[in-house]
Amino acid sequence: MREAHPDERAVGVDWYVSDADGVGGRLKTSAADFRVRELEAFDVEPLDADPGSYPHVVFRATLTNWDTNDFADSVSKQLGISRERVSWAGTKDKRAVTTQLFSVKGVAPDAIPDADEAEVELVGRAGRPVLFGDLAGNAFEITVRDPDHPERVDAVTDDLRAFSGTDDRVGVPNVFGPQRFGSQRPVTHLVGREVVREEWERAVRTYVCTRTEAERDDSFRARSEIDDRWDERAWSEFVDLIPGRLRYERSLLSALVDNGGTDPADFRAALERFPTNLQSMLVNAVQSYAFNRMCSRRLNRGLPFHEAVAGDVVCFADRDAPQAVELPDVGRLQRVDADRVDTVNRHLDRGRAFVTAPLVGTDTELADGEQGDIERDVLDEMDLAPSDFELPGAFHSTGIRRAILVRTGLSVDRDPLTFSFALPKGSYATTVLREYLKTEPTALT
């Protein structure tokens, strides 16, 4: 192992598992260099099905340089409906070409609007919306531009195959990349930590005022001035200071203009103006940060990722998943007793089971043995407990366990250097590519 970049360590990712030097280069010099296609797992009825029984129109959109939330906003505004009536299966990066599934409730199929740099294909109707996670995974085709040492690909691949415990797949820890916390301004886990503490004003202030050297000068100056003047409660002036493109910051401050911003309930109400998926993402970021730290701690202890040890909690594979991905079914869990380690490891070796760690929430049961020690130590260090997630509305989380290893078949074209592979839902392509590039995280986003 070698130490990760400082920006990765700041979000709990302490190590590369490959010792080989990286190829260098950059991702996403253009949207076409990063292509993502959802592996769908959502059943639909024909478009002419009864709209009373099937009120949700499902469509597939191929988007270029579109943030998923922004595209949903555009659809809702053109239709003149609430954004909450537009749903999708997975949030994708903006600087990319993405093919993904959406649904809209209560509109005619021919009303689905067009948009610049968007190709829309009607798919059918459904009795419920497309929901986050309603996909099996994603297929990627990613080009690395200007690699310094493309000849190093094979050495990295050998290391990742050894980590996976297989001869035909690469494997990496299933951590959350920096973009999960904010690519240019990794702040969501810091905001979420204040939400979990129910420190609502500190959560709003953290979101609005936290700044980094990577962001634009006008944003940095505005955040700095508002932070210095926060106690003035000059919410209207603060709205004017914030650049117009920072619409979520403006939304928070505008809510404080409307409700006075004088007591904790006002700041919570401001955060509740966020779309419900973004409210959830703040809490999810805290869970993701803790998960990353647990994976880093397991690596540091030298415990395997492709095999279980006594005390681990494993989940089993989703039998209905496409062949392209190994998809964990985290609803089927088993604690590994000492006398069953060998039996469980035969399942892991065949891709039928996966070692897990928690995305902690109210219903979380921690592992035993060494993994249990790791989980408890991380939560203690973060001053977190499952009961902390007993929160109002969209901030509430029951928690879930997540596989700590992700494996995939991978093919590489050399000119230009292009990686093709598929990952299960919730796993990040950059967790694979970071091992190959071994460069600063901004080159991956």
Residues known to be catalytic: 93
Contact 160, 17 (CB under 8 A): yes
* Residue among 154, 176, 192, 48 at smallest CA distance from 110: 48
Beta-carbon count within 10 A of 88 CB: 24
Residue 104 to residue 118: CA distance in whole angstroms: 16
Distance from the Cα of residue 417 to its chain's centroid: 25
Residue 147 to residue 285: CA distance in whole angstroms: 31
What one-character DSSP code corresponds to residue 198? T
* Residue among 31, 138, 142 at smallest CA distance from 434: 142
C-alpha separations of 243 from 186, 214, 231, 251, 292 in Å: 19, 16, 21, 12, 33
Q: Give Rg (Cα) of the chain.
A: 22
In sequence order, what are the residues at sequence separation of 6 or more whose Cβ sits closer than 8 angstroms to the Cβ of residue 237?
none
First to last CA, the chain: 23
Beta-carbon count within 10 A of 234 CB: 16
| Amino acid making up residue 384 | L
| Amino acid making up residue 248 | Y
Q: Residue 305 is encoded by which pair of tokens?
A: 């990722």
H-only helix segments in 260-330? 264-271, 276-301
In sequence order, what are the residues at sequence separation of 6 or more whose Cβ sits closer than 8 angstroms to the Cβ of residue 198?
264, 391
Residue 105 to residue 51: CA distance in whole angstroms: 10
Give 328's strand partners.
317
Could you give the 3-state DSSP secondary structure of residue 417? strand
Biggest distance spanned by C-alpha atoms of the chain: 65
